[in-house]
Amino acid sequence: MKKILVGLLFASSAAMAQDVYVVSVQPRFTTVYQQQCQIVSVREDNSGVGTVIGLIAGGIIGNQVGGGSGRDIATVIGAGVGASVGNRIGQDQISGGQRQVCQNVPVTVQNGETVTFNYRGRVFTQVFTH
């Protein structure tokens, strides 16, 4: 009796397997975001700070020279010379280094398949994901 049941079961699954066939298998893609980092060189430009400090110091020193309208002219000239000198000193103080910069970038990855199959003359589609 067991042999007959096993034989019938095997025969029915073999017949069923003939009724089903795969029409197509297409990969299924999704977009995910992945963090990517890199080391970059950076420069810190201190010339603006040097210019401002030189401007103030030169103006103060120029204000100490002369009297009356000569003092005003000396203040302006001192401020200009001080700003120029401070700018040069600030440019000499440019510092460099490295730092890590990270950003999220889109990456396309396969996330399963879409299978189209025919079963007894009818077409079905099934999505399989990982």
Q: What is the pLDDT of residue 95?
A: 64
Give the number of domains in the chain: 2
Question: Would you state the structure tokens that stand for residue 82, as one six-digit string?
Answer: 């001080």
Q: Are 108 and 34 in contact (CB under 8 A)?
A: no
Asked if residue 50 and residue 66 are part of one domain, the reply reads: yes
Angle at 19 between CA 28 and CA 125, to 5 degrees: 20
Q: Is residue 80 part of a domain?
A: yes
Closest CA to 101 of 42, 44, 33, 39: 39
Whether 73 is covered by a domain: the verdict is yes
Q: What is the pLDDT of residues 3-21, one digit of tens each?
A: 443 344 444 455 555 688 8
pTM to 2 decimal places: 0.37
Q: Which residues contact 80 (CB under 8 A, 6 or more apart)?
A: 58
Let me know if residue 6 belongs to a domain: no
Average pLDDT of the chain? 78
Which pLDDT score is estimated for 54? 76
Do 59 and 87 share a domain, yes or no? yes
**What DSSP letter does each residue of 18-48 carry, written as one string?**
HHEEEEEEEEEEEEEEEEEEEEEEEEE--HH
3-class SS of residue 129: coil
Domain that holds residue 112: 21-39+103-130
